Amino acid sequence: MPKMKTKSGAKKRFKLTASGKVKAGHAGKRHGMIKRTNDQIRKKRGTRVLKECDAKVVRKKFLPNG
């Protein structure tokens, strides 16, 4: 069988914590900040830990060696 390869796009978007959780950036911060409230912009700073149902998919399909 061929080797399982990590998806290149996923390498740039997700990081795994030591306990196996998946960290990702917040959605909705690329453009259109004029429409967002200052409160929304502030809350979307930094990274977040994905919910377990989403993290399971990321670990299995995109980061198999992570």
Domains by residue range for the chain, with CATH: 8-62 (4.10.410.60)
Residue 24 phi/psi, 5° resolution? -150, 160
Read off the pLDDT of residues 19-62 as tens digits, 9 standing for 90 and up: 999 999 999 999 999 999 999 999 999 999 999 999 999 999 99
Name the pTM for this structure. Answer: 0.84
Q: How many helices and strands, by DSSP H and E, does the chain display?
A: 3, 3
Q: Given the structure tokens 């977040």, which residue do they identify?
A: 48
**∠15-18-23 over CA atoms, to 5°?**
30
Residue 8: is its pLDDT beyond 90?
yes
Residue closest to 61 by CA, chosen among 7, 1, 23, 19: 7
Residue 66: is its pLDDT beyond 90?
no
